[in-house]
Every structure is written in C-alpha cells, then in structure tokens.
Amino acid sequence: MIKKLLFLFSLIVFPCKFALCQVQTPENWLETKGHDLIKVLSCQDRKSRYEQTMQIAKTSFHENELSKLALGRLWNKLDASQQKRYQSLFFDYFVSEYTNNPLPVGNIEFTITDKIVDKDILLAVNVKTDLALKIKNDNNKKLSIDVVFALRRDGNSYYIRDVQVEGESMLLFVRGKIMELYNNSYQDPDTLLNKMQNRIYDTTHSFREVEKVSEFLGEIQ
C-alpha cells in the first residue's frame, strides 16, 4: 500500500518539477513580448502608446543595464547620487522620447525569420502590415518591415537589450537624445538631469491638457 502511494505521489510531483525546470525558448518569449511591443508602439493615441509601452518596458527590459548602456561613457562622469537620480528618471525619459511618434503599422503579422546565438540572441523578425503600405503606395498589399531584437537570457526568461526597426537602433536613438541634451546642458550632469525631468513633465503634462480639452468639448456638446 505504501509503495502504491509513493508511486502515485511521484507521478504528481516529478512532472510538475520537470515542467518548472523547462526553459522558455527565446522564440516563444519574443512571440509574445516582441509582438506586444510593436503593437503598442504603433498605437495612434499618444497617451495610450506611452502608458502601454511603459508597462512592457518594465517587464521586458533590464532597467539598470539599459540606462547605463544609453549613457555610455558619460556614466562615469556622474557621481553616485547623480547616477541614482539618472536611473530613477531613465525609463520615463526613454519612453517619452521613443514613443513620440507611432510606428507606421496597422494590423501586423509577426514572424521570426532568423536566429543568431552569441553572447546575445539575435532574432530577425518580419513584420507584415497593411497600414504602412497604404500610407506609401495607396493600395491594399502588405508591406514587410524588418525588425531585429537582441535578447539576453535572465534565468529561465529573457530581456530585450536592443531593438532595430529598419536598421534604426533603439539604444543608439536614446543615446543620441541624451548626448544632445547633455551638450545643450553645458556638459553639466545636474543640468542634464533637470532637462530630462522637464522632458518627462512636458510629456505627462500634455496628456493632462488633452484630457482637459476633451472634457471641455464633452461638456459643451
């Protein structure tokens, strides 16, 4: 009787343990996270695009690593308190800049076409969309957009280190924005951080202003 109970217990426990040990493939991970990221970046409403991208960024990017990579060699020019403040501002600033304009895509088909494994896992993706081609050629055939995701393993999951849309790197884009801001700040770290904070405020304040206008128009109708 005891042997039978132990056997039944092993049938329940060991498959569960085996399932927990299964490592998710980068392709499976990206088919959800990558697809969702492209979808929210193409949202036409600015506030929704910002808020939804922020939600995905916090679960799909490595905040500390990405913020350092974006700052590059300037990281060492900040003292400990400035580095801490910069990292607290980074995601809001990054999403404010990167979601300024929507991606020109509509209904998308997300297909992984190639994979290169090195220190990073590079996955090439073909994004087919009907909206982009309508904008360019005014017909109903679909246009393919090439996207490359650079992933890195994190335990049993992954995170996105960079995204290239038609050869344009997300990381280099935000680094360029920060460098431009830094050079316009007399290369002073505190001025840079203040300007980053102002940029974030301008973005979120514009959302509130749009909401006020919408409420006002609703009241007079």
**pLDDT tens string 31-65:** 999 999 999 999 989 999 999 999 999 999 999 99
pLDDT digits (tens, 9 = 90+) for 133-152: 554 555 555 578 899 999 99
The confidence score (pLDDT) of residue 212 equals: 53
DSSP state of 128: E
Structural domain span for residue 186: 24-199
129 falls within a domain: yes
In a domain, 85, yes or no: yes
Amino acid at 15: P
Total domains present in the chain: 1
Q: Which of 6-10, 85-89, 160-164, 193-197 has the lowest mean pLDDT?
A: 6-10
9 pLDDT higher than 80: no
Report yes or no on 103 lying in a domain: yes
- By the 10 Å C-beta count (0-12 exposed, 13-18 middle, 19+ buried), 114 is classed as exposed
Q: How far apart are CA 46 and CA 40, in angstroms?
A: 10
User: Is the pLDDT confidence value at 218 over 60?
Assistant: no
Sequence-ordered strand ranges (E) for 93-186: 108-117, 121-129, 143-154, 157-165, 168-169
Write down the pTM of the prediction: 0.80
Q: Report d(CA 117, CA 218) in Å as an integer.
A: 54
Locate 200 and state its tokens.
């974030």
Q: Does residue 215 sit within a domain?
A: no
- What CATH number should be reported for the domain holding residue 176? 3.10.450.710
Q: Average of pLDDT values for 90-95?
A: 96
Residue 14 CA to residue 149 CA, distance in Å, equals 35
Instruction: Give the DSSP H/E element, type plus range, for residue 78.
Output: none
Give pairs for 206-214: CB < 8 Å, separation 24+: 206/46, 207/46, 207/47, 207/50, 210/46, 210/47
- Radius of gyration of the chain measured on its C-alpha atoms: 22
